[in-house]
Amino acid sequence: MSELKGLIKPREIVQEMQESYLDYAMSVIVSRALPDVRDGLKPVHRRILYAMYKMGLSPQAKFRKSAAVVGEVLALYHPHGDIAVYDAMVRLAQDFSLRYPLVKGQGNFGSIDGDSAAAYRYTEAKLAPIAESLLADIEKETVNFKDNFDGRVQEPVVLPTIIPNLLINGIMGIAVGMATSIPPHNLAEVIDGAVYLADNPDAGVDDLMQFIKGPDFPTGGIIYNENDIRNAYSTGRGPIIMRAKADIVESEKRGFQIIITEIPFQVNKAELIMKIADLVKDKKIEGIRDVRDESDRDGMRIAIDLKQDAFPRKVLNQLFSYTELQKSFHVNTLALVDGIQPQILNLKELLHKFIEHRQEVVRRRSEFDLRKAKERAHILEGIKKALDHIDEIIKLIKSSASKEDAFVNLKKKFSFSDAQTTAILEMRLQTLAGLERKKIEDELKEKKGLIAYLEDLLASKKKMLIVIKKEFAEVKEKFADERKTRIVKSALREIGEEELIPEADSLFMMTQGGYLKRMPPNSLKAQKRGGKGLMGIATKDEDIVSHFFVANTHDDIMFFTNSGKVFQTKGYEIPESTRQSKGRSIVNFLQVGAEDKITAIIPISKNDKEKKYLLMVTAKGVIKKVATDEFGQIRKSGMIAIKLKSGDQLKWVGATSGSDEIILVTSDGMAVRFKERDVRAMGRNAAGVIGIRLDKDALVIGADVIRSGSDVKDLKLLVVMEKGYGKRTQIGSYKVQKRGGKGVLTAKITAKTGNIVSAHVTSPENEEIIAVSRKGQVIRTELKTISILQRATQGVRIMKMDTADALASVVLF
């Protein structure tokens, strides 16, 4: 220890710990954990890419062993562990980790299931095509270099990237006392935003969001709430909610399934499936029968089979709540500014720093090219001058005692520079040929033009921005792709899944036993009048079809019961079924009591001006009008729609504009037409007024609306009888009367026809009808095949009926 005497100085441990910890923290922050705002890379990633570039591992080159790359990085640039370097390189090659992978791997580079990559002695790698854009022009002194850890070689401080890598690939890192978490984005959108900011330096975040819609994760999925995205872009911090892409489907073999094809970013698929299985095992989620991973080379697919009595939407919501099918990405855009200063930057600042970097790179590249062009032009001018005096120069060189004498004599006599003199002495005799002389003159002209262009470019910031935008466009053209992550503008808590579900017209069918289903509109093929029909629903214990209608998946479907109550659900909440499926019990959707029967169903679309009122008709001829707004907030337990007298039931409900006409039809063939304004609007608890007076045993079987402003000549009343007979009659045949009368005869009722079961007003827009029998037999036929007859006629056969069967309902298309 004697040799250390006088060199050891005592210090307070508190002071030593403070200074040493600060040095350590700054080393981690600057040299390991945080990305540079200019190229979006941590030092280890930058060193891997530069080492591969120096090794000649371009996209066009052959693959090299990953061990060779790791060894090169360790030997020359990164004085840390080999596992750390290899893990970093593996991530650069994973298409589920990076939106635009920078390394192309060959072999096992891991999977979204959390499988580790094979050891580096087995895998191979080279640069991905897009990585060339990060290294472009690096040999032209576009960025600063620094000594490596032992001073043997130099490495770049930052890469001269053309692509906004920090935004398009994002990054995550934990430093000392701080962390960064930047989501990936779509290259085309970010390029468009950068171009816009270059042209409009005063643009705000809202302006940039016209182009950059939000993060775009490599695993797809769905992002909710545009306001959360805007907040993260404005402040550099904030959570963004992500969800998996999950669809509810029904198959004949497996019944209802939840199919997951995209999961949130950084979710381990295998662990997700295990979590679902554990939740089912612990009975935290009920209704799941089986979970399978059906993923293959064509893409991800997790299939969740549901039990027969499960409610698919409820199960899916539970999965979102209890698993990582829904999670938050916490944005924290911390990056190094000027390579040393960690800062939280908003979207505009991130793009601005990138554009500044591109301006610096283009400036330094132009200066390099200008210097090289001037040097070459200077040489060419000397050679051209020498050719003009070639005989004298040859004579002078021949008379010189040595090369050094020739150098001095040429320079002295012709005033050549050192560079020009050297070039002349090294000039080959073939240069004396006429064609070679022309090449020199052309090259000199080209260099002078390039010099003028570069000097003009360096003198004009505007022209430099034009060059930068042109290069952006070239990168976009080469590497842009479609967005993978869908963005739902509204907050999740405001709309749930509604924006995820496409709006589409569907056929809805319900039985008297309370089974409801939704089918595509093309489920049934049109047939000729009188056809036997197809079985449209698999009924249970001879269940009878009671309702058949068309609605949009986003419509509010209102269910009215015989007791005068109303319930409501969305069209998409009723799962789509096959034509042969029996459907789902209505108790899965609504809290309908055992004593209640659904007697009327009506869909209400948003902002439909023709549906200001709901008109209700009872079996005993009572009519009531209520504003649609009265039913804006319907509880799950339902609400009172009409107050009924003893022995009466709600029979029909229709939507009106307030200035329409109404026609009521009875089972014994009577009809009355009157003005809607004859019925004043009432409250929900009111009983209504008399619409039509009935004969003994007669009941109202239906009603319809004659729209205000419609041409009565184009309208007809379609009536259909129990035994499959029907006809159309001109609406003009029914004179407008006062409500409350008996009406006029609309059909001749006989034992052959049976009583009227359905009545509809038809217009030229209606082309087909679908008729359904009580036993589920269905026929789809063109409306024009049904004859137009007078009021007091029995009609024509439109459907052949079995003796024990009868028509139940009809819907128009």
Q: Name the one residue in this structure whose structure tokens are 């989501």.
A: 183
Decide: residue 322, CB within 10 A, 0-12 exposed, 13-18 middle, 19+ buried: middle
CA distance 163 to 477: 12
Q: What is the phi-psi region of residue 632: left when phi exceeds 0, alpha when psi lies from -120 to 50, beta otherwise?
A: alpha
Alpha-carbon Rg for the chain in angstroms: 40
Residues with Cβ within 8 Å of 569's Cβ and at least 6 positions away in sequence, in order, are 556, 557, 559, 589, 590
CB distance 762 to 754 below 8 Å: no
Q: Are 707 and 679 in contact (CB under 8 A)?
A: no
CA-CA distance, 260 to 276, in Å (whole number)?
12
> What is the four-CA torsion angle of 438, 443, 448, 451, rounded to 10 degrees?
180
Enumerate helices (H) and strands (E) in the chain, giving the number of each.
Answer: 18, 41
Instruction: Please report, for residues 378, 390, 427, 428, 614, the alpha-carbon distance to residue 433 in angstroms, rounded to integers and kept in the order given.
Output: 21, 12, 12, 10, 99
**Catalytic pick among 122, 233, 322, 725:** 122
Query: Residues 788, 705: contact at Cβ < 8 Å?
Result: no
- Listed in order, strand segments (DSSP E) in 281-354 are 288-293, 302-306, 326-332, 334-337, 341-344
The amino acid present at 495, given as its one-letter code, is I
* Torsional sign, CA 569, 570, 571, 575: negative
Q: Which of 273, 242, 271, 279 is nearest to 260 (CA)?
A: 273
- 212 vs 220: CA distance, rounded Å: 16
Is 122 annotated in the active site?
yes
Cβ atoms of residues 80 and 98 within 8 Å: no
15-19 contact pairs (CB < 8 A, 24+): none
Query: CB within 8 A of 652, min separation 6: which ones?
Result: 599, 600, 616, 617, 700, 702, 703
Q: How many CB atoms lie within 10 A of CB 208?
A: 23
Q: Residues near 367 by Cβ (< 8 Å), separated by ≥ 6?
A: 458
The number of residues making up the chain comes to: 813
| Closest to 542 measured CA to CA, from 504, 502, 515 | 515
Please, are residues 38 and 158 in contact by the beta-carbon 8 Å criterion? yes
Dihedral of CA 630/631/633/638: which sign? positive
For the purposes of burial, counting CB atoms within 10 Å of the CB of 24, is it exposed (0-12), middle (13-18) or buried (19 or more)? exposed
Distance between CA 242 and CA 357 in Å, rounded?
32
Q: Tokens in use for 277?
A: 């299985």
List, in order, residues 6 or more apart from 437 with CB less than 8 Å away. Answer: 387, 431
Q: Which residues pair with 247 in a beta bridge?
A: 259
Element (H, E) at 648: none
Using CA atoms, how far residue 34 sits from 27, 37, 174, 192, 537, in Å, is: 10, 9, 8, 26, 62
The C-alpha atoms of residue 757 and residue 772 are separated, in whole angstroms, by 11
Strands 505-511 and 545-552: antiparallel
Structure tokens at 408: 């001095």
The three-state secondary structure class of 44 is: helix
Type of residue found at 401: A
Which three-class secondary structure state does DSSP give residue 72? Answer: helix
Residues with a known catalytic role:
122
